[in-house]
Amino acid sequence: MNKKLIITFLLGLLLLFVAACGSSDDGDTEEADNANDETEEAADDTESTDGTDESGDKEVYTVATDNAYVPFEYLDEESGELVGFDIDLITALAEEAGIEIEIETLEFSGIVAGLGSGKFDIGIAGMTITEERKESIDFTQPYYEAGLILAVNEENVDEIKSIDDVDGKVVATRVGSTSEEYLKENTDAKPEAFPEIVEAYQNVLAGRADAVLYDLPNVQYYSEKEAGGKLITVGEKLTGEDYGIGFPKGSEIRDKIDEALTTLKENGTYDDIYEKWFGDRPEGT
Ligand code: ARG
């Protein structure tokens, strides 16, 4: 009897020991690991089928921009690379928001439509926030305050002193831009809209057009850096033109990018990028 008891006791001890070893032996953890693996696999599956990760976010977002809008986005003459204020800004915003982006360039006039149809996820191209565009795409808060300005060939400064003098004149601009719209709605000028704004400037410089109407930062940059002082801005800055970053309607990353923009405006990153491309910021902006 005693022996039996001892054996039972020992067996019991042995069982306890094995059980204890079992748990320290990763038995349970392994099961948990397997479960994790499965979740990971499930997530992997989603990744491979629709390019999203487990949180439903896409891995790489396509950014549509232009390649001929100094100094916001243009091809650097020496390196051939796409550079500019918008490029630096969207790169910093993507980093802040923790997303990956891939930049694609196309004609400016195709960007709003491409966002509207969901072909691109993000659009940044010195694009003015307008009521009309808001019908088909969503925007962030404004990230740059521009405005339109008229410019003429240096020989024309006495004839065209402001927008009030353009009636009946040929005024060049870019197709699909807010300037084209402005000319049609507010003046009796003869608008001539080119696919690339550089063509508009060249026509004015060659005397084939009387003036050009376009976004002030672009006109200023072109006239200083490219036109050797022969393209002169005249009159006051017209209209407020707030630039916004565009998205397809209802986009899930608009808010993320908008929050990142607020952060970059607050932490000085926005100012650094601004100063790199435009010099010191004017007071109160
Ligand atoms: N701000 C104007 C607009 O939204 C002109 C923008 C031109 N931008 C460009 N990347 N070409 O219509």
In this prediction, residue 276 carries a pLDDT of 97
CB atoms within 10 A of CB 46: 14
Residue 22 has pLDDT above 90, yes or no: no
| Ligand 1 atom closest to Cα of residue 133 | 4
In this structure, are strands 211-215 and 170-174 parallel, antiparallel, or unpaired? parallel
Distance 6 CA to ligand 1 centre (A): 91
Q: Identify the CATH assignment for 147-241 out of 3.90.480.20, 3.30.470.10, 2.20.28.160, 3.40.190.10.
A: 3.40.190.10
Percent of the chain whose pLDDT exceeds 70: 78
- Residue pLDDT, tens place only, 218-275: 999 999 999 888 999 999 999 889 999 999 999 999 999 999 999 999 999 999 999 9
- Residue pLDDT, tens place only, 185-196: 999 999 999 999
- Residue pLDDT, tens place only, 25-50: 443 433 444 444 434 444 444 444 45
Q: How far apart are CA 210 and CA 190, in angstroms?
A: 10
In this structure, are strands 82-83 and 170-174 parallel, antiparallel, or unpaired? unpaired
Q: How far apart are CA 81 and CA 218, in angstroms?
A: 19
Nearest to 125 by CA among 260, 61, 215: 215
In this prediction, residue 229 carries a pLDDT of 87
Extract the runs of DSSP E, i.e. beta strands, from the chain.
60-65, 68-69, 73-75, 82-83, 100-105, 122-123, 137-139, 144-153, 170-174, 190-194, 211-215, 231-243, 246-248
Q: How far apart are CA 171 and CA 191, in angstroms?
A: 5
In this prediction, residue 206 carries a pLDDT of 97
Distance 147 CA to ligand 1 centre (A): 11
Distance 99 CA to ligand 1 centre (A): 25
Which residue CA neighbors atom 10 of ligand 1 most closely? 125
The residues spanned by each domain of the chain are 60-143+244-278, 147-241
Q: Is the Cβ atom of 86 under 6 angstroms away from ligand 1?
A: no
Nearest to 151 by CA among 162, 141, 137: 162
Q: Is the Cβ atom of 241 under 6 angstroms away from ligand 1?
A: yes
Nearest to 242 by CA among 261, 223, 269: 261
- Are the CB atoms for 114 and 66 separated by under 8 Å? no
- Are the CB atoms for 68 and 198 separated by under 8 Å? yes
Residue 213 has pLDDT above 60, yes or no: yes
Mean pLDDT over each residue of the chain, to the nearest integer = 86
Residue that has been written with the tokens 């091809």 in this structure: 75
In this prediction, residue 59 carries a pLDDT of 85
In this prediction, residue 2 carries a pLDDT of 56
Distance 22 CA to ligand 1 centre (A): 68
In this prediction, residue 38 carries a pLDDT of 39
Residue 130 has pLDDT above 50, yes or no: yes
User: Domain 60-143+244-278 is in which class?
Assistant: alpha beta
Per CATH, 60-143+244-278 and 147-241 having the same topology is answered yes
In this prediction, residue 26 carries a pLDDT of 41
To test the pocket of ligand 1, the residue of 89, 127, 178 to mutate (highest count of ligand atoms within 8 Å of its CB) is 127
- Are the CB atoms for 96 and 264 separated by under 8 Å? yes
Q: Is the Cβ atom of 126 under 6 angstroms away from ligand 1?
A: yes
In this prediction, residue 56 carries a pLDDT of 61
